[in-house]
Chain A
Amino acid sequence: MEDYKTYLAENILSEDKVVTYRLLSRALRVHPNVAKQMLYDFHKTQSSKKPGTVYATYLLYGIKKSVQNQNGNAMDIDLPSSLPDADPVDDEEVPSYTLVLVQEERLADVLKEYETISSIHVYSVGPHPAKDLTLLVDAAQSALAIKDDAKKPRPRTIVNSHVRRRERKGLGLKAAAPAKQESKTKAAPTKTAPAKPSPAPAPAAAPAKPQEESKSAAPAMEPEALTATTKKPAPSLKRNTSAASGIMQAFSKAASLPKKAKTSEKSTTAAEETPAALSDDGEDDDDVPLPKPGAVSTRKSKKEREEELRRMMEDDEDEDMEETADSPVPEEEEEEEPVVEEPPAKAEVAKEEEKEIVTTSGDGRRRGKRRVMKKKQIMDDQGYLVTIQEPAWESFSEDEAPPAAKPKPKVANSAPPAAAGKAKKPAPKGQGNIMSFFSKK
């Protein structure tokens, strides 16, 4: 602490800078009050050694003598100044304190103007008389530039233990990444794990939106979304040329979701050839199993999926998107309609249950067989290479960790857990904006 003298001498005398107490306290990591005392001491000793080398400015705080009628009278135009002490603007006298910054030459004069002084201390010390305040301003600004060293924070005068800062976004992303991995591995199984209203098929039908969402950087997107990427609905329709279907697929996906979830149904009939490029292109979600077309499941979920999608869509305000996307594929859908409407809910329900067979674990691991959607590529009779998704059983073994990271996909319509919510935060942004472009039309 004794080096403050050298520090000050160096800065003020050699480098010709003005040093305020704030600058000093931050540079030397001392309490501001101590810094004020240091400044005073330095100024005193220096002045006694060589007067005229350093000049100080003082900060005063107190009550000025009440000769302040110029405040009121200057403002008033109409009122006569017959009442010198009654301030017409202030209906009542409020205590008024003043905080003044003075140079040392003027200190004595200024002090005379004050009735009482509650506080006085040295504000800054400089090599020249502080005629111009801009130098001081610069000095004050430079005080802010000295960043705090986290390891040894400088002492502060007043702290507030209740201060709330929000978490940095970086953390959110990190948390997201592992969640994503997790979700990938558990793609199908996790579908049913979270108490989703609609079983796998429903998520399968998940709108393109969630699926896109999962694709986006935001991790932890609902694995459901992944599964949901079952564009098979659309795919079934568009199986003409992969090129054309590429673009339309984007639309048809959305379309397929809400109103015309039946797509899945039709898959039963034409299904096989469907997926083709549709399921492949664009989406990286290979692990997204689609409910096997032709299986009862598709039929069952159609209704449910429709509901799901509708709900999801409504949430995402993509209904219009659906509409437009729908138009290109209305005809095909029509035929499906009647077939689709039927899917008995019961059948679906029944199917739902057996998504996963878990054997109780003895040592903290969940083991069991799980139903997963596996993709198969088959050469069609017409020469088309189609990819179909069909459910298959696989055994799994995983830790008991609750699937908290399960993306609370909108599919689920459940309130997203906070953690996932944070991770998911960046996700919807990209997807939502892009799709909404179409939806508004």
Chain B
Amino acid sequence: MRRMSLLDSPSQGSAIHPAFIALKARCESREIVDLDAICIEFVAAFKQFILSYNKPSDKAMSRDVDALIKPQLSYITGGLPLPLAIGNLVKQLKQEINALSDDCTEEKGKQQLTDWLDEFVENRIQLAFQAISLFTRDKLKGAHVVLTYSWCPLVEQTLLAAHEDGVNFHVCVLDSYPCQRGKKLLNSLCKADISCSYGLITSVSHLIKQCRLVLLGCSAILSNGYALAIRGSSQVAMVAQAANIPVLLAAPTYKFVDKVQTFTEGHRSSCTALVSERMEMIPADLITAVVTELRILPPSSAPAVLRAKQLVV
């Protein structure tokens, strides 16, 4: 697969905004890794793009912005699909842009769009994370040993918050080569004085016997209840199910997408833009519960969340 290099020039005429160039570079160099972090950076880049936009006097803002976004997005994606949750965000943003009235001023239009982006990050990401931490904390109270895999900022925040609230638990961090992201989680948990152990994913069958709960992150939840997560997650979920241990998936509602897929397709389509890791599917029957900011749900309730959040396309 040919990777787009930084020296590739964008399509003729339209200049790519430096914020997007920086975003792509940072993602490719793995400075930003998890989907939640990428999403926040993506929104920040978009905000800069909108703020630096100059509306021509003869065109309506909504149509103009819409046309300008296309080359920016195709630069970022470089022919690959956008990660599902970010694709969702872009669809909603485009709807918001189209909703701008034809006669709105540049000031007002920019204000509206940046407000929407700010609200998205605040409500759907930051506050959602807090709500998910609270819901998960109640389940952590009964489970004295928790197993988690690799690094997910939401899982990290949940564990740290629960520990601060006085819940007592031990964390088993599983990790895999070559990225060894689990070490990042291990570092922050140890700094907070949480009792941890560390193992490679090959030792999952041994470690699962000590655990009472498995907590995983994900990058998308499909409408049939299947989850998209980093490679290795479904292995952990399968072993947990065999050992009769409940599997909890932390997923804010912005990650719910109106798409159905039951297996990870071939090599090419499992690569997405911006996200450097390869993803895989976790089947719905391996997931005991999905923790969202609305409530704890069974994976089969994914369509209900899509309806509630009007994410159905």
Q: Do A and B make up one complex?
A: no
Residues of B within 8 A of A (CB): none
Residues of A within 8 A of B (CB): none
